[in-house]
A and B are shown apart, each in its own frame.
Chain A
Amino acid sequence: MKVTLNGQSAELPEGARVSDAIAHLAPTPPFAVAVNLQFIPQSAWASQPLRAGDQIEIIAPVTGG
């Protein structure tokens, strides 16, 4: 199924969970995840299912003012 991962189209297997999206991007810790503008805590990464069309954001620390 097609999802949007950090603004880019990505293909994930049917039944994929948030942890699969993370594995697809392979981000460097620490990072946090939101799906469709809802925060997904780390404790739910392995159980939270994804659906076609989901918008996934994986964000990490950067400098800021």
Chain B
Amino acid sequence: MSHPASPDDALVLYGEHFSSRLLLGTSRYPSPAILQAAVARARPAMLTASLRRQGAKPDSGRGFWQLLQQMGCRVLPNTAGCRSAQEAITTAQMAREVFATPWIKLEVIGDDYTLQPDTLQLVDAAHALVEDGFKVLPYCTEDLVVCQRLVDAGCQAVMPWAAPIGTGHGPVNPHGLRLLRERLAVPMLVDAGLGLPSHACQVMEWGFDGVLLNTAVALATDPAQMAGAFADAVQAGRAAFLAGAMQPQKSAQASTPVLGTPFWHQGSGAGA
């Protein structure tokens, strides 16, 4: 069971404090009960949800809505499936009315195969939504300049991908992600492509402020147990970042003191 985050190390997004640095998606779980169990284990800061035509999915309508109310977690609607700035803006406005929240995970997809964000449309949509009072969390690539433009548009946080959505590959461009973390001071959540708790722990060790994931939990053999594992990994990675890791060395450095070594120069080697 994961421990609650230290109250003086809260995740702060748009001036609001969150005790968890894990955001969790609600899709692809084997059943609503298993989703509920996973949420209970992860205790996420926010749960993502979406909007679709009525009747387009078996879980549309009141069933999922009622489950969201029962779970009592802050909802982060997304604009998944949108392919233009205008589609995303309209979807965000609809989500604000349905979910009664100004928060929005802004997605504008530019490629059907990789589901890579259309970063040009994304910046346009972000600008309009920030102007309209939304608290925008844009799903983006690890491109430094795109992220800077999103910040320029008024986004107070960005959400770069680790890998394409649903792949579970973990960070495919560690150098790019770490460079982005070094260059921009805004809160950053790694969103999409994480598959293992070690992936989440790693990006948290690099100084990212949180992670958003869905498939890695939903498609695990035991989603609730995996949700707990991710929650622990996020906390461990955050603690490691705050603790400050040692610098890697080029050559071996004996951890045991050399002074006073018995049999010095009589044996064949030194111990670790």
Complex: A29 Cα to B62 Cα, angstroms: 7
0/1 per residue, A22-37, Cβ < 8 Å to B?
Answer: 0001011111111001
Q: Is the CB of B59 within 8 A of A60?
A: no
Minimum Cβ distance to chain A for residue B31 (Å): 12
The majority secondary structure among interface residues of chain B is: mixed
Complex: A30 Cα to B35 Cα, angstroms: 21
Q: Is the CB of A62 within 8 A of B60?
A: yes
Query: Contacting A28 at CB < 8 Å: which of B28, B57, B61?
Result: B61
Query: Contacting B95 at CB < 8 Å: which of A7, A32, A42?
Result: A32
Query: Does A58 sit at the interface, judged by CB under 8 A?
Result: yes
Q: Is the CB of A64 within 8 A of B53?
A: no
Q: Considering the complex, give the chain B residue whose CB is closest to the CB of A38.
A: B90
Contacts of A6 in B (CB 8 A): 53-56
Minimum Cβ distance to chain A for residue B198 (Å): 20
Query: Does B165 sit at the interface, judged by CB under 8 A?
Result: yes
Q: Considering the complex, give the chain A residue whose CB is closest to the CB of B192.
A: A65
Contacts A64-B26, A65-B214; A27 near B54 (Cβ below 8 A): yes
Complex: A36 Cα to B256 Cα, angstroms: 73
Minimum Cβ distance to chain A for residue B147 (Å): 21
Contacts of A41 in B (CB 8 A): 97
Contacts of B80 in A (CB 8 A): 64-65
Contacts A37-B86, A41-B97, A62-B59; A30 near B65 (Cβ below 8 A): yes
